[in-house]
Amino acid sequence: MRCSSGKTSFESKELAEEALIQNHIRSNHRKGSGPQNVYECQDCGEWHFTSRPPASELFSDKDILNRMDLERRSYDWERKVK
């Protein structure tokens, strides 16, 4: 479904949260910048990013942060060798 907001939509909270993590890995946002969380849209019923606080609890989870660090390093190396 296409949302009237024009924002990218995700079918579930889990998909939106994974996309949020990937966005931060690929864009290397500084703490507190870029999309901060996901929310369920009242218009389309799907999930979108928001840059408004509060930041997602994902960014406080040590396992998620370690995974993001490892994937960011891998992504950086992939870009260097291309």
pLDDT of the chain along its 82 residues, tens only? 689 999 999 999 999 999 999 999 999 888 889 999 999 999 999 999 999 999 999 999 999 999 999 999 999 898 888 7
Q: How far apart are CA 30 and CA 32, in angstroms?
A: 6
pLDDT of residue 19: 98
pLDDT of residue 51: 94
What residue ranges do the domains of the chain occupy? 13-81
pLDDT of residue 1: 62
pLDDT of residue 79: 85
Task: Write phi, then psi, for 10 (nearest 5 degrees).
Answer: -125, 140
Closest CA to 23 of 10, 36, 13: 36
Query: Taking the model in full, what pTM does it have?
Result: 0.89
